[in-house]
Copies of this chain bind each other. A is one copy, B any other.
Amino acid sequence: MTSTAAPSRRRGRPPKSDGDYRATRELLCRAGVAALTQKGFSATGIDEILKSTGVPKGSFYNFFSSKEAFGAELIRLYAHYFARKLDRFFLDESLTPLKRLEAFCEDAELGMARYEFRRGCLVGNLGQEMEALPEAFRGALTAVLEDWQVRTARCLEAARQAGEISPAIDCAKWATFFWIGWEGAVLRAKLERRSEPLRLFAQLFVLSLKS
């Protein structure tokens, strides 16, 4: 295959085939998500992404028009990946609704421990450093959190209907409370490199729902 198969704006060495192109793009995105969950956007250089993936320097712009475009795509991919994860837990009918939320929290502990608490939440990291980021990221990050809140509110609603939590609970409000605090818990677990902050937040959140 010749370089004519690639969009004309591509520069540098052309990928060998469309399959190669997709595979390389996926490789870059995977490395990008890892870096952003770890260090955030400002501290991540395109050069290190290319180096860690073995993608030749100079060919980045075959895939993304800018670091900003790359970041926007990583937010989109992470949101998609995470929404599927939430569905996997929150729609798991083998558990009661409240147990689903607890299972999600326990899985997050294991997930953070797997990377020695070096990786947190991409959305939390970028949200924190928003003042140094392209303004377009603000709405994207907010929308992702709102989507997670909607999914969580549905799970709480099911818990309320099942009589697992107080009937007085405003599920949308408490789902927002959960995501406000959970991002803080992920931050703290990363800072202290241990799962206790996640566990404590989950424990007292669930306790509060019941009373």
Contacts and interface: CB of A to CB of B under 8 A. Distances in A.
A127 B125 CA distance: 10
Interface stretch (A77-85, A89-97, A190-198): A190-198
A168 to B, nearest CB: 9
Interface string A184-210: 110110111100010011001001100
A142 B191 contact: yes
Interface residues of A, number: 43
**Copies of this chain in the oligomer:** 2
Interface of A: 38-40, 42-43, 118, 120, 124-125, 127-132, 138, 141-142, 145, 173-174, 176-177, 179-185, 187-188, 190-193, 197, 200-201, 204, 207-208, 211
Given A141-B191, A173-B200, 13 more contacts: A38-B131, A39-B131, A39-B132, A118-B131, A125-B129, A129-B129, A130-B191, A142-B192, A179-B188, A183-B187, A184-B185, A184-B187, A208-B208
